[in-house]
Structure 1
Amino acid sequence: MAKITLYYLLVISIILASCKDSNKKEDQVSNIPIYKDIPYQQDYSIKYNLTNDEQISKAYMDRNGVIQILSDKGILRTNDGQFLYPGALVEDKTYRTLADKNINGFTLYKDQFVYLDDKAVLSNAWAGNLYLSHGLPNAKYLAGGENFDFLISDGKTLEFISNDKSPWTIEINDKVLALLYDSQNKIFWILGTQSISSFDPAKNKFNTIPQEEELTAFTLFKGKLILGTSNGYFKINTTTGKREGNIRNQLPVNNITAINIINECLWFGSPQGAFKLRSDGKFDYYYGKRWLPSNNIKHISQGKDGSVLIVTDAGLGKIVFKNMTLYDKAQYYEKQVRDRHIRLGLNASLVDMDNGNIDSGRLSDSDNDGLWTSMYLAGQVFRYAVTQSEEALQNCRESMEAMERLFNINPVQGFPSRSFERSGYIEKLSDPERWQHSTDPKWDWKATTSSDEVIGHMFTYGVMAELMENDLKDRAIILMDTLMSHIVSNDLYMVDFDGKPTTWGKWNPDYVNERPKMVGDRKINSSNIIAMLQTAYHFTGKEKYKRKTFVSYDQAWVFRESNETDE
């Protein structure tokens, strides 16, 4: 949630910087750098989970955009599914006659599905005219050639079948793993565990090239065979049959289980996710539930819509590439936030989801409800300043109401609560020991507010005071003054309901400067309090903030000089 909110803020900030303020003079605007919001390619995943105990091996998308998946229990297809809403793989009942067949092999030929059962190579495309009988009842590998002729294999024997050519068969001294057709050389390639073989159907010529490594996968790319192993990949020239270069094994994962060429880029599957070799030599790595049902990759193919289909042992991951602008992306996040991340006006996290099912989650409280709401509110202020969107203005008002209630729901003057919730649920909330009862018996509030919460508040109030020209400007300045008055009157401490400073709400120089074990906090706490005091003085004009700023600065400088003297 934090990353989404901060990214949203960054995007809106970029857009704001690129826009001209109509109220400023032309010569003032001319020096502002202009960012052109050019579309870029955004990738995201749609996942389809297995609903039963099928073993799946391959997936393809035909020219109609239909996806089918080969399993040990027949052909499956995708059901439902969209970004963040996983679909399922279900039995494909489209053709009753197909469901009755023993389908063991499956490929895409001329953008149509072609099946291999225990009797024939067949298809429902081309008016069902493709039906080539064969003699390998256990055949499971196939590849299509030039004119509806096919090479098939049961893992040991190869058989070539065609309508207009004589059948051909041979048993090889290796285990067949895959077949593919080389349209440039008009030959079939056969991948064995320790060999690469070729078959020329025009001459019925078969040739084998033994390999030292144990092979796992292969594909064709620019006249080269790309051969995967358990320790990287290497290339073989398809014309000479000779190896080119050394094995490449500086990869995200060296154990290759699948290879394919998609949009002129090499894609690899492994037991630990999938990755793409980009033209600049770097990799895009797709790993984990964000992208895939599991990381154990079985097969990779290209969808006709530009997507990439990645078969895993737990389902199918469809990687989608969509052109969008930063504004488009910001709008997506905006819809997402409004749809499922608003709790009592606060910006909240969705938790307790069932296997990533968004609709099964609940909104949760957190230590940082005030901080995340601050960041979201600032983003909406930037959006409104640029677009004058009434929707953005309403979002600002709703978030501001929640921010104001963080102050007035507790009895401590000027103290912003971390969060608030209806009474009766303290034992079920995060950190129940930090929650207190409000004077209103219907509500409880969370104490122990920290410095990062306060920084978020002050940042947002400054943004509102600077950019808003309505009642929200005055309300922001009031909260800014209320918060900083509490801190100044308590000698630069955030004092809780018990009269004691909170664990992290401490900016007093005596406290900050006596902490050699946490010297990193010394600088950030010092710069933060001075920035907050200066902001409060700038917008309220109250001298107490100016005086306190100089006192804090002088104390910090004296401490620095004394340290240098000691050294």
Structure 2
Amino acid sequence: MNSKRLLQSGIFILGLMLSLSSIGQRKSNQAQIQDTPFIQEYSIKYNFNNDRVELRRVAADRNGYVQVLSSHGLLRPKAGQFLFPGELVKDVQYLPTSDKGLKDLMSHQKQLVYLDDKAVLSNAWAGKLYSRHQLPEARYFAVDDDFTFLISDGKNLQLLDWDQVRWSGVAEDEVRAIRYDALNKLYWILGQHTVSTFNPAQKRLTTILDDASITCIEVAGDQLFVGTNDGYYEVDTKTGKPGAIKRKLPWNEITTIAKLEDGLWFGSTRGAFKRKDDGSYRYYSSKRWLPSDEVIDLADGSENSILILTNKGLGKICRKEMTLHDKAMYYDKQVRERHIRHGFNGTVSNMTDGDVTSGSLQTSDNDGLWTTMYLAGEVFRYAVTGSSEALQNVRESLDAMERLYSINPVPGFPSRSFERRGYKYHDKPWRRAEDPEWDWKSTTSSDEAIGHIFAFGAIAELIAEPDLKNKAITLIDTLMSHALKHDHYLVDWNGEPTVWGRWNPEYVNARPVMVGDRKINSSNYIGMLQTAYHFTQKEKYKKAAFQLMEEHGYYENLMRPMKEIGPAPEDSDDWSKMLSSGWNHSDDEMYYCGYWGLYRYAFNDTLKANYKKAIVDHWEHERPEKEGLWNIMTALVGKDNYDFEEAIWYLREYPLDLIDWGIQNSHRKDIEFVEPNFRKQTIREVLPAGELRVSRHNANRFDLDSNGRGHAEYSAGDIWLLPYWIGRYLGVISEPQK
């Protein structure tokens, strides 16, 4: 069958009279993934910037009272909440303790216990614990279940109970730490180059290991975990036999190990990490989680939190049970409180060290695109919930989008952005509006246009309010009439096509067939024309689409398998080589915004079936990224499971903190690197979103490092709320479950 017969065969199924609310929607009780509660992590940081004071230990009691032992006495956290760091200050809550010149600190039976130059003591148990010792320079201690303490001043050792010194001795190596082994009723002693045991029943010291690389120890069950400057290993506590060194870690220079209530944790010179049940590691580094990456101590905090002491302060990893819907409501507040400018969904920039109150909303080349992705999400939210707030959000953002067309003098041409005169970057794309209060930004690109058509189509289909529906259809017609009038180009104020607003065959087919620009422009533009025809029923759009597909190869272009996309040949023009230097993740975003109109508003069943093949083929190539939006949006084409579990993992793992902190992962030893490739995949398995930089959907999820400095906060509107709400609408995600 030739391409013309193929394209025009099938039953014409879409028309303006179709019931718009019934296309493809599933009821929430048919959702493939149930939105059950999960644990969301976030960090509260307490900074400390006095380089003359050394931070040493952290502990908390059953009441949630946190103390940090320093070289200048006890400190405590002050203020501090999510996104707004507190600080560590001198602890004067109870002067009889804080004035004692304490040398060590621990939590025992969830009570704070101290070591000073005279005794082991506590304010718990009515203050009755006051076990005197005879080591004025004592600075290390550990305790068994019967309140028997082994203490050391670095050389001498003493065993104490509540009333007396039961034993004194001398260590063969300089003591650096002591841990108690409840299973074997032993104390493990870390020296400068040895690990020894002390048997309190036999009053005997025994050297078990001699290893100068050891940095720390911890007892967990029947294993002693031994940290070194190049990984860690386990020692059987009964036999003393060491296991193999483990070096496939986020970082190998271990500074501390702690058996906490939720598992085994490691501190290092480049962050902290927890060993998961499957043997992999959850990594916490950068100012998203910690004041600094140089970890000194680890401890359990209150309400299932983890306390991570660094050389620059304390990080408190908090855990909150929530559903995806709860998370959506949090992100909704983030967007509405800080990221709305004239109805646009924008970024807060020029911040100082992550302080969201120090930054300003900025214009962007992609104000239209980021806003339409947020706008579409609110449309799906309204379609699912009937929320009046979502409807008002749609109104405000649609007003901003409409003004992009009216603020400039070019009929049907959408501006990139607009801003009050005097509050913009002084670059060439900015033009003066007729209103002396305003300027508008020109050079609009195809990624803006496809975002517009995606959101306007969703409004026209799913919102029955006549003013919104009619405005959306008018804007679709306005933009696409401009493109047809100007021979499939976006033509700017100067009468010239913009650099990226080009869908004309002369431009599109000038690229070799393997260059992705040829496929993406064909796919997007046919979807745009289908959307325009579906809602206006104007034959000019249908005629143009079939002409491009039948006479100019746009159908073959958009159906080309992704495996055929790659670098242009060496003899190609420089533009084609530039366009095909690697996988274009912005194209992925454009494809998926365009798939809404390409598949949903297909001219006939035959086209729709073949579009499905193209979309699923694209999704197959995206699977390694485990990108939540791509997996969820592929549900457009049917009820198959397009890695929805991975999409939920993406949504759950995405950090609440959307600040552009610098993130480093390329140093890690627990990730498997792959050879350089066109796809720009760097490692075998993509990392969780909480361990990666905050990025929009046009970024490569295999990028391991970023140089962010906490200067910007991204909006959740396009990043997270769109995949969640379209997932709710398409029946991928259920309503929240108790």
Q: TM-score, normalised by structure 1?
A: 0.90
Mark the CA change 1:201 to 1:489 in structure 2 (over 3 Å): closer, same or farther. Answer: same
Q: Which amino acid aligns with 1:76?
A: L
CA contact (8 A) 1:407 1:414 kept: yes
Deviation at 1:253, TM superposition (A): 1.2
Comparing 141-150 with 305-314, which one deviates more in the overlay?
141-150
Comparing 497-506 with 140-149, which one deviates more in the overlay?
140-149
Cα separation, 1, equivalents of 2:549 and 2:40: 47
Cα separation, 1, equivalents of 2:35 and 2:554: 49
Q: Which amino acid aligns with 1:242?
A: K
Larger strand share, 1 or 2: 1
Which of 454, 458, 461 is matched with 1:466 structurally?
461
Give the structure 2 partner of residue 162 of structure 1: 161
Give the structure 2 partner of residue 456 of structure 1: 451
Cα separation, 2, equivalents of 1:338 and 1:153: 57
Which of 545, 548, 565 is matched with 2:541 structurally?
545
Q: Where does 1:74-473 land on structure 2 (aligned, <5 Å)?
A: 74-243=73-242, 245-263=243-261, 265-426=263-424, 429=425, 432-470=427-465, 471-473=467-469
Comparing 258-267 with 322-331, which one deviates more in the overlay?
258-267
Cα separation, 2, equivalents of 1:296 and 1:556: 60
CA contact (8 A) 2:522 2:554 kept: no
Mark the CA change 1:221 to 1:559 in structure 2 (over 3 Å): closer, same or farther. Answer: closer
Q: TM-score, normalised by structure 2?
A: 0.70
Cα separation, 1, equivalents of 2:163 and 2:444: 81
Aligned pair count reads: 539
Give the structure 2 partner of residue 55 of structure 1: 54
Give the structure 2 partner of residue 525 of structure 1: 521
Cα separation, 1, equivalents of 2:331 and 2:289: 18
CA contact (8 A) 1:509 1:555 kept: no
Give the structure 2 partner of residue 554 of structure 1: 550
Residue 500 in 1 paired to residue 481 in 2? no
Cα separation, 1, equivalents of 2:269 and 2:513: 44
SS in 1 for 2:81: coil
SS in 1 for 2:50: coil
Q: Which amino acid aligns with 1:476?
A: A
SS in 2 for 1:397: helix
Cα separation, 2, equivalents of 1:325 and 1:43: 13
Cα separation, 2, equivalents of 1:410 and 1:446: 9
Q: Which amino acid aligns with 1:443?
A: W
Alignment deviations for residues 190-245 of structure 1 (CA, whole Å, 9 cap, x no partner): 112322212222332222213235211111122110111111111111112222x3
**Amino-acid identity (%):** 53
Deviation at 1:265, TM superposition (A): 2.6
Q: Which amino acid aligns with 1:409?
A: I
Cα separation, 1, equivalents of 2:263 and 2:401: 49
Q: Which runs of 5+ in 1 are unaligned?
A: 1-20
CA contact (8 A) 1:307 1:319 kept: yes
Mark the CA change 1:28 to 1:444 in structure 2 (over 3 Å): closer, same or farther. Answer: closer
CA contact (8 A) 1:51 1:90 kept: no
Deviation at 1:560, TM superposition (A): 6.7
Deviation at 1:386, TM superposition (A): 0.9
Give the structure 2 partner of residue 4 of structure 1: none
Alignment deviations for residues 292-315 of structure 1 (CA, whole Å, 9 cap, x no partner): 111111111122321111111111
Q: Please tell me the root mean square deviation across aligned C-alpha atoms, in Å.
A: 2.5
Comparing 446-455 with 130-139, which one deviates more in the overlay?
130-139
CA contact (8 A) 1:143 1:180 kept: yes
Alignment deviations for residues 509-544 of structure 1 (CA, whole Å, 9 cap, x no partner): 101111349822111011111111111111111111
CA contact (8 A) 2:549 2:555 kept: no
Cα separation, 2, equivalents of 1:452 and 1:336: 25
SS in 1 for 2:254: coil
SS in 1 for 2:357: helix
CA contact (8 A) 1:45 1:319 kept: yes
Residue 535 in 1 paired to residue 531 in 2? yes
Q: Which runs of 5+ in 2 are unaligned?
A: 1-18, 565-738
Cα separation, 2, equivalents of 1:302 and 1:349: 36
SS in 2 for 1:260: strand
CA contact (8 A) 1:146 1:186 kept: no
Q: Which has the higher contact order (CA 8 A, sep 6+)?
A: 2
Deviation at 1:165, TM superposition (A): 4.8
Cα separation, 2, equivalents of 1:301 and 1:466: 54
Cα separation, 2, equivalents of 1:523 and 1:381: 28
Residue 510 in 1 paired to residue 509 in 2? no
Q: Which amino acid aligns with 2:338?
A: R
Deviation at 1:28, TM superposition (A): 8.1
